[in-house]
Structure formats: C-alpha cells, structure tokens
Structure 1
C-alpha cells in the first residue's frame, strides 16, 4: 500500500514526498481511512509507529476540502491536546510538515514560558491548535481561546494524561467543546481507565489496535545487567566504555536522580544533559538539540519528559532505574529501533528491582538476555518486608534530623528569631 492508495489530495502527497514518506505504517493504513470517513477513533499503537501522521494527515485533508477563510479572522477548528511540551512541539512541527503546501496555519501553546508569543499567534488567527492542558485552560480563562468552532478534537497520549493527573483538566476542556465534532484518541497503551473515558467522549468509536502494548519491536535487542544499588554508577561507566555507543538515551526514575547522574558523568568527562520537569523550556530544548546534534553523548530523562522525544536512528536506550510499570518499559525502549532501524536496550537492575523485571517479562512474553560477564555482579539480596520498614524508618529519621538542624542553624544566624521564640 502507498499513500496514494489512501486517496490523499496532491498537496499532502507532495509534502509527504518531501519528508520521504512512501509507505503508510500499520496504524496509518488503518486509521487514516476511518478519520477521512469522519469516524470517531480510539487507536493504540506501539510508540514510534507514526500515530501523529495517522490523525494529522486526514485532519489536514478535511480542512483543505472544507470552505476556509471566507473573510475575517481564522477560527480554531482543530484542537490537539497532549501531556508534555516536547510532544506538543513535535506534533505542531508535523502539522507544519504535512500541511506545507496548504494555506493552513497552526500554532502550539504550552506552559513554562512567557505567553506573549503564543497569544500573538492566536490573535493572528490559527486553524489548528496544539496544546498542553494547563496553558490551554489558562488562555481560555483569559479569553484568548474559544473552543466553540472546534470540528476536530484529538487527545494524544491519553494514558499519560491520566498518569500525570490531567483527568480533571481534560474534562473541563471537553465540557467546552461543541457536541458536533469528530473526536480521536491515540495512545501507546490502553488501560481500562482510558477505554472507560473514551466511552464517555467518543461516539461509536472504531478501534484500531496495532502491535499491542505488550509487544516490543523485533529490531530491538534487550540486555539485562544485575548489580548492587551501590555499584550502579560504576556499572554504567563500564557499559559506556563501548565506543559504539555514540548516542545514549538514559532513563532515571526521578528528577533529582537524573541531575545526579549527569553530574557524575561530567566528572568522568562524559558529555551529558538532563531533561525533566524542573528544567525550563529553554533548558529542555537546548539539551534535546545538543543531543540530536551530537554535542551531548548521553541524554538523561524522566519518563514524563521523554514523551515526544523522537530521534532518528537512535540505537541505544539505557534503563538506569527499572520502571515499576511494565508498560513504561515498552515505551522507553521504543525510543530506539524506530521505523525498522536496529536498537539496543540495556537495563541495570538492583536487587529491589528484580520483581519489576519479572513483570516486564510476563507482559512482553520475552526473556531479557542476562549479561553475566561484567565486573560488578549482584551480591546483595532483595530486602524482606521488615527490612524495608526499617530502611523507611531510617529515611524518615534522617529527614527529621535534617530539618531540625536547618531550623537550628537559621535560629543561630538570627538572634531576633531566638528572642521571638523565647
């Protein structure tokens, strides 16, 4: 099958040729005809299989075929809501690419930056709006955005929307949409909560499921290194001695952990940058650009920040922390081996994470290949329940001690504070 077989208009076919798209992916071949037929769609597909094109291309065709710009300011007819800034930017860029030979306008809005440029673009009039939930509601409340002319609504990465606590925001947005509209849900995973939400919002949706979430791309080789918690970083340095690992996307469970990993890599003169929610938008975009341009060898990311990172020909993903949700593992390693390219996934597992590996192998029905020949073998055993309780108790004690000492220090530096306390 080719894109011509999908009965796409010539301006879109010309734009697709410019970006070297020749054959639709499975999700595109299944979803595009349904969207062109004005069906509501709930679609799930493995990350990296082209979900954005599956909804953007037919929506552009709808808009081009409909009467447009009959005078006056352009009104927002398409709303795409997505959880992260990076993904929002990427989707807007895709609309620009696919609509290159049309006169459609799109813009993207997200938080973490000044709203000036975004509101200026909105004042000029746009056809397609890509947004993160918080900034969208904010600008709606300020009167910059009206949803009353929306004909096409897309909720992308719906599963992560719920994970990130956006459910109430999404319901507020949906309440402002016209009842007569075409609605599309696209997500890499489809937990029951997403299916239940879709039933409230979509009208007789057609389901498109390509490569269930339990599957990982056949082009990705998966390896597991077991070690102790205390030797994780040493093992990471050992793995990075491989000169063929020119570009590595590394996942950390926490923002603090990501910063710590970058700091330790810098000590060994390994160029690295972190991307997570505490970084400003400019910092995140610079880190991503430096990584894509080869200025940084390692990009350390948290799961939420990594949504939307799309890097051509990325070969290596490292799980420094094993995710406690097996679906997240599938998302992570899907960042490499995209579009039929080969990829290598490496997971560094401490004793307390062994159970997570078991869950991943159950979900994917694949055994991850264990690498035993390395200098930092796992010698510790997982803690039992009482040991975990003691460790948690010790953490709380140290936390209380830290704050007590800090308050004491503040008091000693401020005599007025001590007098007031007396």
Structure 2
C-alpha cells in the first residue's frame, strides 16, 4: 500500500468560490454599509461632525452586522458608547441596538458610531405576551414588574430597597431583572448575578414577576405602522412556536431569529421557511462576560441573508422617513422639525438655526440612515424650501429677541 502524500507546510485550504448571486449581494450590502456622505458646503462646515465617517470599503466577503445587542439603558452592562467601541474593535460595520422596551440609548449610540464609521440601526426588543391583555404603557410595565419582584423578595426575607435598584439602573432607565440582581449582590444576599437568577429571579424562580406586557400581535402591527421591521426574538423559548409564529405572520411579522453563535437552532429554519419569514440572528450581547455569553459580532450572517434583510428594510425605512418629511412640509412646526433632526445629532431648533442655512439639513440628517440611492427615493425639495424659510424665521426671532 502506498503512503499518503503529506501536505506541504504553509498551504491553506482554498476558500469556496463566490457565486454570482453572492457577489451581487456583497456589492449591494457594501454600498449601504459603507456610504459616501454628501459633501458639505463651506457654510455647513460646522454641521458635518454628525455625519458618519467615510470608511474605505473592505476586501473579502465579510460585512459584519450585529442585529441583537443591549446597553445599560436596559439590562446590558456597557453604555451605548462603550458598546459601539467594542463592536468596532470586533469588526462590526452595522450595529442594531435593541434594548428592552426603550430606545433611550439610540442617540448616544449614533453619536459614538458616527466617529468610527459604523451604521446604527435603531431597534427595540419589546416584551410581549401571546395572550390578550391590556395594552398599557410598556415602559411603565417594567417599573411595575420590578416593584412586583421586590415585593416577592420581601416575602422571602430578601429586603431590597426600590431606591437601591433605581440608583443601579440609572436616571431615566426602567429597572429590570438585572438591576434587581445587582442590588441583591451589593446587599449581600447572593454572591453574584447568576446566583440571583438561579435562586430567585429566573423564569421559574420564586421572585419572578411580569409587568404589563402587551398582546404580541398588537406589537407587530405597531412596528409595521411606524416603519420598522418586526422580528421574533428567541423563538426557541416558545411553548407552541408553530401556532404563535403562524399568528404573528398573519399580523405582519417580517423575520425571526434562527441563527446564534453556536449555529442554527434546529427546526426554526424550517419554520421560517414554512411561513415565509426572513431568517436572521445576533449575539444578544449584554456585556456580562463569562464563557456562556457570545461576544458582540460573533454571529456571522450569510451575505445573501443580509442582502435580503436590506431589500426588505430599505423601502420601509425610506417610506417612514418620507412621511416625516412630508409632515413638516404640511406643518412646519418645532415638533415636526424635531422629528427630522433626530436623524442627525442636531437636537433642537436653536442648533438648527445657528448651524445651517436650511437647504442641506435634510441631506445631512438623512445621510446617517439612508444610502445615496435611498435618498433619491425620498422627496425632499419642498421640505428644503420650508426648512430654509423656517431657519430664516428662527434667526429673525433670535435677533429680535437680542435687540
């Protein structure tokens, strides 16, 4: 018998060839992920600090998206800025911040991302039940849930003060289980957060409590009405996934999580195909650390999956932004102007009137969210004229006040 030939050292396996579809998908995704911002005029030089940094297009086949992450505005450990920095170090080009029941961290994330050339997709992970219930304010429901947990802990002789929990959560942040767990650690009732969850706060724990989560179908419909892409997170945690996914698809569900850092979840890829849902995934990064947590950017989605996501999302985003612009054109008010300025880092009419002539503010703001191609689909000329007139009025009022 002949001996096997030894492979020569230094040789690596050949990468699989890129198909024509993959090449087209890669070009499509790159064009959106690495936009070329519009050139600012000299008069607008002070305003260009809120544009995304232009990043050279990378070689190779990877354009890394992270579609599921959390900051300390919900139950994550990192601030939005620190989260963006970690994502940048890990090579992420597009980051969705999806805090629980709040979008309060989005402005800080956008500001940090603009400095390192990352695109932010504003997101939110909404707590919902697959049972009819009163559609109370979701954020208030998180406060109620945390208070209910403290009441249950009190009955178990674990005395945690509400002020302690809210101090850990931080100003303006609705407390969650993580904040309660950290208060328990600081008060000496448990050794670490994991023990708090295992012994008290886990889904089957004696101190677990619900808030006032809305009906899941209503959440899907709300997302559709407000220009978002609805995605079912953690479908593997459902007791009757087929029936629930079928119902949510009927309400307008767009996608569902199928991919995790350890690969596809058995059976859920087939369910997504069955109901015509886009298959996505993410790390669900919280910044807790430890061997059980996937790092941000570790779920690498196929380029064709990313292309499919963007082809679904971009027309929806463009339509939503067009509606916001048209509302200002119909009624040039501070409130409607504020909705436009949210796309950039200008935050109020004073910033707008002091740094812009009004003619280019739409392009500057929308460049943070839309590619040049998308922006061609958004009617902006009428809004530009209204903005220029509005800016002139603001400056006139300011000068009159100073006089």
TM range, smaller chain = under 0.3
Tell me which protein shows more strand as a share of its residues. 1
TM-score normalized by structure 2? 0.26
TM-score normalized by structure 1? 0.25
